[in-house]
Chains A and B, each alone.
Chain A
Amino acid sequence: MLDFLTRRTLGSLATLIVVVVAVFFATRLSGNAMDYMLPPGIDAETKAAMVRHFGLDQPLLEQFWRYVTGLFSGDVGISLFERRSVVTIYAERLPNTVMLFSYALVLSVVLGVPLGIAAALNRRNPLGGAIMAVAFVGYATPNFVLAIVMILIFSFNLHWLPSSGDATPLHFLMPSIVLAAPMLAEIVRFTRNALLDVLSQDYLRTARAKGLPEWLVIVKHALRNAAIPVVTIIGLQVAGMVARCVLVEAVFATKGIGDLVVFATMQRDYPVLQFGVILIAALVVVVSLVVDLLYAAIDPRVKVTA
């Protein structure tokens, strides 16, 4: 068990180090960021001053050292576009993304598990088939297509929900649903399959034989064991969900991290982009680690095999 913990943690740490190094050198690959930032035809003196101002004239290793120490002290530079501290910009944006992400996560678990159970228990009648069909379509529909269809229906036709922005909690409803959709579909599928696996086990027959009511058999005996793969799925989907966050925020103009990263890419605002990549990678790595550890805590078999 301890071996598994250490190995898993060290692996996460190594991933983060590789990301930090790769991101730094990748953004320097393309030559001088200033070439893209400044308007064409600017005089050489001003340009040199700007390059000096952002510290881009120093040796690469020195820049790297400043950047790594900056990551720990919270000074990761100034946005080339907004001329503000990168950390401040992210601090402003983080709450929206965290909110969106948590709503989506809660939504997919709260809806996904019961729907998966319903699909498993109704596997021989149309209800189960219908649930699985909807789950399949939800899984195959690109996020932005779903977003556009929802905006058309709920904003422009029914006038129920705002189409973009992040002013009120209501603004987060559609983005959360869109973000949750693929994860929700996966959870439905996995809950159903896991439950079907468990339902054919001997100990369930025993539970029924000793006279337990059916709902108790399901909740107490079947669901507990079916929960394990669901945790795995959440862990596997976190990275994908973060990636989709970028898209969803861009569609709904939610002022979050994803929207910021896309904008930084278009503006070639390297300080913002590189910190964004590192921040998001760190979040994903930490969340996956936590899920894995949780998994090991729930499922005693992991300790033996890992």
Chain B
Amino acid sequence: MTDLAAPLPGLAPAPNTRNKARAGRRGQGTLAMLWRKAGWLMRLYIGLFVLILLVALFAPLLAPYDPNAQTLLARLRPPVGFDRAMPAHPLGTDQLGRDMLSRTLYGLQLTMLIALLGSLISMLLGTALGVIAGYVRGPLGALIMALVDIQIAVPFTLIALLVIAIFGNSLPVLITVIGVAGWEAYARVVRAQVLTVSRMPFVEATIAAGATHSRILFRHILPNIVSPIIVMWTMTFSALILLESSMSFLGLGVQPPTATLGSMVGLGRDYLASSPWIAVVPSLAIMFVSLLVLLIGDWLRDALDVKLK
């Protein structure tokens, strides 16, 4: 995952008291430090998460069938191990005879893609606005924080519904909506962090030495607030997976026949009584991924010693 690796070079140039291991000079060192800190269980979680990412990435190679190909003679077959199962469809088939394994793999790919892009947009937007609110301050900063308060006050699902009613539901709209969903959390945390860091002696020294704003920001402040941003990222990532799944489940996400995990559950809902696996297989996949990300995020927060307040 490039995003986990990319921001890690941080924690470096300016003295960082939290970072006890001086080895964390470059990204490699920080990653190695984290890996050493992880117990075997956490290593297992991380390994599983990487595996999921790889599976999502290579879904087209792994899927045995076209996810939208219908085999009407093999409709509603249960997964292997149940009556009437077909070995050719290990996870069964849906009401149109589409292979559940292939659909789950492709659905996973799309769900991860949407959550990844969405969380990236959230991160960039929220961090930029948080930096403005914390570094530039002034009326613009106050306006940003007012927007944060409003977004906290209004349930985001409503905003999403409104946007989808206006712009229709397509993939770009969905990704944008999901990207906008998480920005406020970043803005809040980043602003607080920027305020704290910019009062530290080494930043004041840099200002006194006559450094430009961009140098102060990019060389001195941002590298020191990378840890909370990474932790926030894991938290928003799982929240966005759930948001995307919920929207798709309601039929407000991607359009059929394209599948995400959420829309598969939504379609499977109508067959719960007779063919529960259609909804259960993607449900389990969603739960598995979101649990993993939450567990890793929780651990990362402690390992990087981040306080999100």
Contacts and interface: CB of A to CB of B under 8 A. Distances in A.
A99 interface: no
Interface string A268-283: 1010011011001100
A19 to B, nearest CB: 6
A152 B251 contact: no
* Binding site secondary structure of chain B: helix
Interface string A129-141: 0000000110111
B68 to A, nearest CB: 23
Interface in B260-277: 262, 265-266, 268-269, 272-273, 276
A29 interface: yes
Contacts of B272: 148, 151-152, 156, 163
The secondary-structure label for the interface of chain A is: helix
Contacts of B245: 142, 144
Interface extent on B, as a size class?
35 or more
Interface stretch (A117-125, A213-221, A225-233, A241-249): A241-249
A149 B273 CA distance: 11
B153 A284 contact: yes
Nearest to B245: A142
Contacts of B149: 11, 15
B162 A145 contact: no
B23 interface: no
Contacts of B238: 140
B158 A261 contact: yes
Contacts of B164: 265
Contacts of A250: 250
Interface residues of A, number: 51
A142 B290 contact: yes
A273 B155 CA distance: 14
A139 B166 CA distance: 32
A182 to B, nearest CB: 10
A293 interface: no
Contacts of A266: 251-252
- Select the residue from A163, A247, A276 with max chain B CB neighbours within 10 A: A247
B269 A247 contact: no
A187 B11 CA distance: 34
A6 interface: no
Interface in A1-57: 11-12, 14-15, 18-19, 23, 26-27, 29-30
A141 B284 CA distance: 9
Interface string B157-179: 11101111111000000000000
Interface of A: 11-12, 14-15, 18-19, 23, 26-27, 29-30, 136-137, 139-145, 148-149, 151-152, 156, 163, 239-240, 242-244, 246-247, 250-251, 261-262, 264-266, 268, 270, 273-274, 276-277, 280-281, 284-285, 288
| A-B pairs with lowest CB-CB distance, top 6 | A243-B155, A243-B157, A145-B283, A30-B166, A265-B161, A265-B165
Given A144-B262, A239-B154, A265-B164, 5 more contacts: A29-B166, A141-B290, A239-B152, A243-B155, A280-B155
Interface of B: 146, 149-150, 152-159, 161-167, 238, 242, 245-246, 249-252, 262, 265-266, 268-269, 272-273, 276, 279-280, 283, 286-287, 290-291, 294
